[in-house]
Amino acid sequence: MYSLPTADFISTSLNGALSAAGSTATIGTGLNLPATNGILQIDNNSTTAVGVDNGPETVSYATYTAGTGALTGLVRGLAGTTGVAHANAASVSSGPSTLYMLDAARVMNRQDIAVNTVITKQITQIGYGYIAGSVATLLQAALTFPVAFDSPPIITLSYLGRVSGVPTGVGGFTVGAQDGSAAMANVSTTGGTVDLWLNENASASFNYGYSWIAIGPKA
C-alpha cells in the first residue's frame, strides 16, 4: 500500500540524470514526502509523449531520505506510463495518482472468527447462475470465480427463485412455493460448491437461480 504525502504542491527536480532502468535517484532535501512507499511523477510538465525519453512518468519508491534527497527502490513506469530516461534537473512532483485511488478502493478490514486483519489489496467479484431442477430438496453446482483470489474469500449467496427455461437475466426468476436458501461450501481461491436448499422437492421443469458476492485478497 502506498503512503500519502503530508502536503500539496510538492515539487523538486532530479539531481543527476536518470536512465530508463535506473532504480535510484536523488531529489531535493527536506520535502514533505513519505519516508517509505511513496509515488512521484517525473517530467509531469513535459510536452513529450508518454513512452519517449523525457516524457511524463509515474514511479514509486521504497525509501526517501529527507536529509540527502536519496530515493531507493524505484519501480518505473506505473499508472499507464513507461520507464524512460530523464535528464538532470527534470521536474519531480508529488500529486494525485490513480495508484492512490486504487489503493483506497482495495483496503478492507476483515475478521476471521475473532482475528481482525487489514487487507490492503482486495477485489470484489459478483455474479449469478442457476441449477437445473431435479426431484430433491438440495440442488448443488460448482462455481468458479472469474479471477482466482490469493486466499479463500468471504462469500455471500442469495436464492433468486425459479424460472421455466433458461433465464434471460438476473431479474428473470420468480419466487414460488419452493422458496429456499443458498449457501456455499468448500470455498477455495478458485470457487466452491453452491447449495440451494428448497422447502420442498424441486421440479425438473424449472431452473433455480442464485446470486453471489465474493470479496477477498488479490495482489
Which tens digit of pLDDT belongs to each residue from 30-43?
A: 999 999 999 999 99
**For the segment 60-74, what is each residue's pLDDT rounded down to a tens digit?**
999 999 999 999 999
Average pLDDT for the chain = 91
The domains of the chain are located at 10-102, 122-217
The class (CATH top level) of 122-217 is mainly beta
Give the separation between CA 140 and CA 124, rounded to whole angstroms.
23
Does 166 or 108 have the greater pLDDT score? 166
Fold classification of 10-102 (topology level): Thrombin, subunit H (2.40.10)
Mean pLDDT (whole number) for 3-24: 93
Q: Provide the pLDDT confidence category of residue 212 given band limits of 50, 70 and 90.
A: very high
pLDDT at 117 over 90: no
- What DSSP state is assigned to residue 107? -
pLDDT computed for residue 109 by the predictor: 75
pLDDT computed for residue 147 by the predictor: 95
> How many C-beta neighbours within 10 Å does residue 74 have?
19
Give alpha helix (H) positions in the chain. 98-105
pLDDT computed for residue 178 by the predictor: 65
What is the grid cell recorded at 199? Answer: 422447502
